[in-house]
Amino acid sequence: MKRLILALDVYERERALEIAECTADYLWAVKVNWPLIIGSGLGIVTELKQVTGLPVIADLKLADIPNTNGLIARRVFGAGADYVIAHGFTGRDSVKAVMELGETIIVVEMSHPGAREFIQPATDKLIELTNELEPFGVIAPATRPERVSYIRSRLKDGIKILTPGVGAQGGKAGEVLKAGADYIIVGRSIYESENPRESARRLHEEILGV
Ligand code: NUP
């Protein structure tokens, strides 16, 4: 089973397409974030889908009023994104505006140290919101497997857990999958490595071994 998501945080179109193509065999999906969209334009979403045949997740972490969230999400889904990531802290109306347009992933806890300041104290409420709205999935921190277990224990069955933070941020694929993650999101450990295909293959093997 494929459970690896490539975080393609490069600016250049050519490089992005090259890395996506050579790692696609080991991926469940490709995630694009602001760096790639700013560097290459929204059309990269469509191109990545064509080149890899994989789902594309647009990690825009939308955090605006419902109207603006909707204006952005409409264009991004229109470009072919299969999933859009939105913050939950802006409230149900803002999240619903994205969910009305397509499959949504809600951030319930982030992976960096600063997430402890404001986001982690709100995680329980963000889980409640998620259980009420039933989106495709949530973002939870691979850097804190114990938090992934906690989030899993509170989240309704069927809602997927996607975890960034493996590799460059210190998280371990095996640990976070055992803690209850459905997918791991990996960027720098793949796209900055000398051989991205080999790095993706190794992570895929590790996933299969769990
Ligand atoms: O909490 C989060 N942490 C995180 O790293 C939520 C995210 N969406 N991400 C994203 O995952 C981050 O913006 C980057 O695109 C990717 C992790 O990349 P890397 O640390 O593996 O290079």
Complex-level ipTM beyond the 0.90 threshold: yes
Q: What is the pLDDT of residues 91-140, one digit of tens each?
A: 999 999 999 999 999 999 999 999 999 999 999 999 999 999 999 999 99
Q: Is 111 annotated as a binding residue?
A: yes
Q: Is 106 annotated as a binding residue?
A: no
**Probe ligand 1: pick from 6, 185, 203, max atoms within 8 Å of CB?**
185
Is ligand 1 within 6 A of the CB of residue 73? no
Residue 61: phi and psi, rounded to 5, are 45, 60
Calculate the dihedral angle through the C-alpha atoms of 152, 58, 83, 191, rounding to the nearest 10 degrees: -70
Identify the residue whose C-alpha is closest to ligand 1 atom 1.
110
Q: What is the pLDDT of residues 147-157, one digit of tens each?
A: 999 999 999 99
What gap in Å lies between CA 175 and CA 61, rounded to an integer? 25
Query: What are the chain's domains?
Result: 4-209 (3.20.20.70)
Identify the residue whose C-alpha is closest to ligand 1 atom 7.
164
